[in-house]
Amino acid sequence: MSRKKTAKGKGSSKSPKASPSSGRTGKGLTAAAAPSSGLVYPSRPSISNSGEFYDIAFKVMLVGDSGVGKTCLLVRFKDGAFLAGSFISTVGIDFRIWDTAGQERFRSVTHAYYRDAHALLLLYDVTNKASFDNIRAWLTEIHEYAQQDVVVMLLGNKADVTHDRVVKREEGEKLAKEFGVPFMETSAKSGLNVELAFTAVARELKHRTMKEPDEPKFQLQEYVDKEMRTAGCCRS
Ligand SMILES: Nc1nc2c(ncn2[C@@H]2O[C@H](COP(=O)(O)OP(=O)(O)OP(=O)(O)O)[C@@H](O)[C@H]2O)c(=O)[nH]1
Ligand SMILES: [Mg+2]
């Protein structure tokens, strides 16, 4: 999603806007506090941990009930690792990665961060029916607090679990269709579709930003389905 610049780069040629803060979530996705125009043109290029520069930054957030695996999904994407064992619930907001807390008591804090988010990855846990049932409430909340054109993708996480699964993939697909959002199942444990979830959102955001007026819209769900077919990974 980000266009790399050389270390000598001085930001975009378009009029620069100061970005209050920025942080890298990994692999080309840059999370930043962004103006509501949708694009971030930092006064100086964002620099990643690996020393690469980017001149476009998007703010992507992970949301969903406590325990659905938001932190694990991000850690898997960023570090390629799985946080097994004890569950350390996120407190408030993790600024490093724009990972939000799912617990109700932090909701007022996380609302404040929706406003300038460009994309939201909305997670439920396929082994937790309540987390799936709460998706409608999450979508209502997103509608209320986020930008109208925010990119939302629904993710059914913990797809690696078989015996304790209580939400079928078809149910996730149906709900996503009802709300007109793209959907896929993921697993922070096995890595299933994790990279794809982030890159698909990144492609959508980049396409929106770069697209010529007469160019057709990027079809996120089509892209995801095609990628999954190519990988031969997840459709039964
Ligand atoms: N089997 C399996 N377990 C997972 C997966 N993702 C997360 N978990 C487990 O689920 C628990 C909760 O994961 P977290 O990532 O901390 O959940 P969270 O959504 O960040 O929770 P809050 O920070 O409270 O909002 C942990 O014990 C993880 O090990 C997954 O894909 N598969
Ligand atoms: Mg967390």
pLDDT, tens only, 29-77:
433 333 334 444 444 445 455 555 555 678 899 999 999 999 999 999 8
Question: From CA 22, how far away is CA 16, in angstroms rounded?
Answer: 15
pLDDT class of 191 with cuts at 50, 70, 90: very high
72 CA to middle of ligand 2, Å?
7
Find out whether 2 and 56 touch, Cβ atoms under 8 Å: yes
Smallest CA separation from ligand 1 atom 1, residue:
158
Residue 124 has pLDDT above 70, yes or no: yes
70 C-beta closer than 6 A to ligand 1 = yes
73 CA to middle of ligand 1, Å?
8
Percent of the chain with pLDDT over 90: 41
**Residue 19 DSSP class:** -
pLDDT value of position 116 = 87
When pLDDT is averaged across residues 4-9 and rounded to a whole number, the result is: 38
Question: From CA 14, how far away is CA 165, in angstroms rounded?
Answer: 49
Q: Mutation test of ligand 1: which of 63, 87, 100 has the most ligand atoms closer than 8 Å to its C-beta?
A: 87
pLDDT class of 28 with cuts at 50, 70, 90: very low
Given the cut 0.90, state whether the ipTM is greater than it.
yes
Ligand 1 nearest-atom number relative to CA 83? 29
193 C-beta closer than 6 A to ligand 1 = no
